[in-house]
């Protein structure tokens, strides 16, 4: 069996309602994960692209979150309507969907304007 070309992680972490950082599952990430799997399978990518649920990616304020490796592309605020473009442009075409890529200042930094400090 060939190695996977890409590994896609969709955060489906769930937190109690009212948590200050929120969570991706409350923003429809479980449906996004399912749609991504279905769409990749239909595109014939099943043997080349692995789609997995993940726990918290520590980017909660930007959720729903998806990260694609080995590209290390972090997608934030993803909606189910974005799945087709991610599949066609990135997973088939090889180019990240720039409009969904988190700004460098938003990934893993407390300086991000979206970040809820101390949560
Ligand atoms: S809950 Fe999804 S990144 Fe934290």
Q: What is the mean pLDDT of residues 15-32?
A: 96
Say yes or no: CB of residue 11 within 6 Å of ligand 1.
yes
Query: Which one is predicted more confidently, 115 or 87?
Result: 87
CATH number corresponding to 6-106: 3.40.30.10
Which of 27, 28, 63 has most ligand 1 atoms within 8 Å of CB, for mutation?
63
54: CA distance to ligand 1 center in Å? 9
Q: Span 44-62, mean pLDDT?
A: 96
DSSP state of 5: S
- Can you give the pLDDT at residue 105? 84
Which atom of ligand 1 lies closest to the CA of 11? 2
Residue recorded with tokens 């993940």: 54
75-96 residue pLDDT tens: 999 999 999 999 999 999 999 9
Average pLDDT, stretch 45-59?
96
Average pLDDT, the chain: 93
What is the separation of C-alpha 81 from the centre of its chain, rounded to a whole number of angstroms?
13
DSSP letter string over 53-81?
EES--S-GGG-S-EEEETTTEEE-S--GG
């Amino acid at each position: 069996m060939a190695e996977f070309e890409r590994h896609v992680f969709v955060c489906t972490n769930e937190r109690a309602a009212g948590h200050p950082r929120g969570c991706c599952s409350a923003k429809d990430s479980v449906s996004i994960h399912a749609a991504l799997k279905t769409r990749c399978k239909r595109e014939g990518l099943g043997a080349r692209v692995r789609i997995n649920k993940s726990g918290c990616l520590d980017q909660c304020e930007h959720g729903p979150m998806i990260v694609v490796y080995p590209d290390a592309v972090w997608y934030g605020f993803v909606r189910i309507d974005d799945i087709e473009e991610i599949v066609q442009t990135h997973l088939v075409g090889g180019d990240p969907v720039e409009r969904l890529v988190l700004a460098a200042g938003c990934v893993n930094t407390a300086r991000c304007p979206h970040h809820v400090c101390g949560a």
